[in-house]
Chains A and B, each alone.
Chain A
C-alpha cells in the first residue's frame, strides 16, 4: 500500500466515524395506537402553538437523584406524582416537576419517563426505551408537547400519540402514575424514594409560577380561565374542574371526582365494552379496568395495597390506564367523551 493510499484510507475512516451519529432507538410504540385520536393528525398539527420557552427551555431532569421519605421536606397536603413499578415506589413532588415537566428515570430495570403538564393538570408515565423525552416548548390544547431525542417526533402528552415527525400516528406505551398528596402516598408506600431538588438546574422550587395546590389558588382554581386556545370548548364544568379520564379503543370516558368518591365503584358501558372504575379512598384516585365478564365488584369487599386493589372479582379484570385531568383539556382532546356525573343524573 502506497503511503498516500494509507493516508486517504485513514482519513476516510476518521470522517466516517465523525459523521456517524450513534443511533438511538425510538421509544417503544404501538401502531396503530391503543388510545382514541378524535381529531385528525393534521388538525392537531395546525393547533400546535408556542408556549413561550424554546425547545428544552423547560429542561427535563435526566439524572434524577432521590432521598428517603423521612428526609423529604414536604407537607402532607403537597401534591406529588407517585410511581409504583416492579415493587419499587418513587415520588416526584409537583413543585419540582412544575419547573421540569419530564423526568427521564429508570425504575426496576425499565427506562421510564414521568411527565407532568401544569397547564392541563395531567401526570402520565411512558416507557422510553433507549431514548429520552424532552419538552418541545410547544403546546396543543394547553398540553405539553414532548419530543423524543431519537427521532425528534412530537407527542402531545394527553394524546400519547405522535402528531409530527418520523413516528407520526404511532402511540406510546403508558404505565400508571398517581396524582395524589404526599401524606397519602407516604401512608401507602412508607419506603418510597423522593426526588430531590438536586436536579442539575437552579430553580426556585418553593414557588409555583402558576399558583398553588396547597391551598388551591391561581391558575389551578376551578373557575380560573385557561390561557391558550383549545380545539373544542366545552363549558359543562368550570375549566379547571378535575375529572378522572379513561381511554379505550372505542372512545374516552370522563368521571367527575364527586361521583367517583360517592359511588366507590362505577360501571360504564362504552360501545358494548364494559369498564369498571374503582375509587381508592387512600390515594383519592381511580383504578380503571376493562370488565369483559361483567363481574360485579363490591366496594366494601376491596382492599388497597401497595401493589393496587385486591378483592373478589378483581383477578378477572384487565387494568386500563387512567389519570386526572382538567376538564377543559380532556374535552378539547376528546370532544366526544362519555361523561359520567353520577347515578342520579340521567
Chain B
C-alpha cells in the first residue's frame, strides 16, 4: 500500500494535478448535490443562511440521504445543507478527481513503458456520475419524462456503494500501474 500512497502524495504535490483533483472534486460535489436536490432553484435573491435543525444531522431520509440541518440561500439558488450528504459527495468527488488525474497520467505516459493508453480510470468515472443522480433517479426521470423511474427505485440503494467500490478499484489499478513505472514519468 505504501507505494500507492506515495503516488497519491506525488500527485497532490504537483500543483497542476492538485488543482485538477480539487477542481473535479468541487464540480462533482456540486453536481451530486444538484442531482440529489440539496442544491436547487427557488431562491428569492440575496444571501441568507439559517441552521435551525442541527439535531437532525444523522437522521436518514432514504438510502445515503440525510436530513438537512440548515438552509443557505444564494441568489436564485437554495442549498438545504446536510453535513453528511456533503461529506459523502465530497468523498466521491475526491475519488473521481484522483481517478481522472491518475487515468490522465497513465494515458500520457510513454507507451513503451506498458503504461500508456489505459482507460481503466476513465471507465470508473461512469458509475460515479450515475451514482450522483441515483438517490433521486425518479426526480431526474421526471424531468426527462421517462416512465422507468419506478423500476430504478429498487436499485438506487446499491448505486452509491457500487460506485464507491468501482472508483476504489479503478484507482487501485491505475495507481498500481503507475507504481510499476514509477521514476519513468
Instruction: Determine the chain A residues whose CB is within 8 A of the CB of B110 once the complex forms.
Output: none
B56 contacts the other chain (Cβ, under 8 Å)? yes
Cβ contact within 8 Å between A211 and B142: yes
Cβ contact within 8 Å between A54 and B62: yes
Distance, CA A137 to CA B78, complexed state (A): 25
Given contacts A201-B53, A202-B71, A202-B80, contact A218 B142 (CB under 8 A): yes
Distance, CA A210 to CA B154, complexed state (A): 19
The count of residues in chain A whose C-beta lies closer than 8 Å to any C-beta of chain B is 29
A204-231 to B contact mask, C-beta < 8 Å, 1/0: 1111011100000011000011111100
Instruction: Determine the chain A residues whose CB is within 8 A of the CB of B150 once the complex forms.
Output: 49, 227-229
B16-43 to A contact mask, C-beta < 8 Å, 1/0: 0000000000000000000001001111
Sort chain B's interface into a size bin.
Answer: 35 or more
Given contacts A202-B53, A202-B69, A203-B80, contact A51 B153 (CB under 8 A): yes
Cβ contact within 8 Å between A206 and B42: yes
Distance, CA A211 to CA B43, complexed state (A): 16
Cβ contact within 8 Å between B68 and A57: no
Interface of chain B: mostly helix, strand, loop or mixed: mixed
> In whole Å, how far is A118's beta carbon from the nearest beta carbon of chain B?
11
Distance, CA A186 to CA B80, complexed state (A): 31
Cβ contact within 8 Å between A224 and B145: yes
A190 contacts the other chain (Cβ, under 8 Å)? no
Instruction: Determine the chain B residues whose CB is within 8 A of the CB of A88 once the complex forms.
Output: none
B183 contacts the other chain (Cβ, under 8 Å)? no
B60 contacts the other chain (Cβ, under 8 Å)? yes
A52 contacts the other chain (Cβ, under 8 Å)? yes
Given contacts A202-B53, A202-B68, A203-B68, contact A225 B60 (CB under 8 A): no
Distance, CA A49 to CA B78, complexed state (A): 31
Cβ contact within 8 Å between B145 and A49: no
Distance, CA A229 to CA B70, complexed state (A): 35
A30 contacts the other chain (Cβ, under 8 Å)? no
B156 contacts the other chain (Cβ, under 8 Å)? yes
Instruction: Determine the chain A residues whose CB is within 8 A of the CB of B56 once the complex forms.
Output: 201-202
Contact partner, B78, options A50, A204, A219, Cβ 8 Å = A204
Cβ contact within 8 Å between B69 and A57: no
Instruction: Determine the chain A residues whose CB is within 8 A of the CB of B147 once the complex forms.
Output: 225-227
Contact partner, B40, options A49, A204, A225, Cβ 8 Å = A204
Question: Could you write out 17 A-B pairs with CB less than 8 Å apart?
Answer: A51-B153, A52-B136, A52-B137, A53-B61, A53-B65, A201-B56, A202-B70, A204-B37, A204-B78, A206-B78, A207-B40, A207-B42, A207-B78, A209-B37, A209-B139, A227-B138, A228-B150
User: Which 6 residue pairs of A and B lie closest in terms of their CB atoms, listed nearest first?
Assistant: A206-B42, A207-B42, A228-B150, A202-B68, A53-B62, A57-B61
